[in-house]
Amino acid sequence: MGDPKRKHKKYTTPQRPYDTENLMEELKLIGGYGLRNKRELWRLKTELSELRRRARGILSLGAEERAVRQKELMDKLNKMGLVGPNGTPEDVLTLSIEDLLERRLQTYIVRRGLARGFFQARQLIVHGHISIDGRKVTAPSYHVRIDDERTLDYAASSPYASKDHPLRRAMAVEEAAGGVKVER
């Protein structure tokens, strides 16, 4: 079972750690999504491989048990925003690491326009300026569910909650100019 006081790894490292293609792909993903280190990427890759493993296991089951387990998995993944309401295990097998990265809170904040970039989004989250359903969330790797999307905003106690904050005014000016920074 293991000692409950000791933390266990939630990721697996690559089998070939110095493979040039793999290293370059990892660096592109880390830079493209503003990840802190490779461990965050490896954790998502492990989560994706577990989802794929479950989907392959469902495909190999008998008809009755397959229907029950497939419904459970698809409902869970639908709430997570990874597959549609009529998803199948084949859809799970086609998921990519980018699909999981797009559902991270850090990425979602940038896509919604609450921050200028990934690193600013990470800073806003860690400093407690972002809330979901009225609760502050301080983990950039938080997985945004479908239900959480509409309640995602600046925290009520944050100075950024005011429309008159200089950062929000500057972002509004940039947005009006078509995403191009305007020097004043």
Mean pLDDT over 155-182 rounds to: 83
CA distance 125 to 119: 10
What domains does the chain contain, in order, with CATH numbers?
20-101 (no CATH), 104-176 (3.10.290.10)
The whole-model pTM stands at 0.86
pLDDT digits (tens, 9 = 90+) for 89-116: 999 999 999 999 999 999 999 999 999 9
**Residue pair 73/59 in contact by the 8 Å Cβ criterion:** no
Is the CB of residue 123 less than 8 Å from the CB of residue 139? no
Helix axes 105-112, 118-126, angle to 10 degrees: 120
Band of the pLDDT at 180, cuts 50, 70, 90? Answer: low
| Residue 31 pLDDT level (bands cut at 50, 70, 90) | very high
Q: What is the pLDDT, as a whole number, of residue 183? A: 47
Number of other residues whose CB lies within 10 A of the CB of residue 89: 23
Closest CA to 83 of 52, 128, 45: 52
Q: What confidence category does residue 181 fall into, taking pLDDT thresholds of 50, 70 and 90? A: low
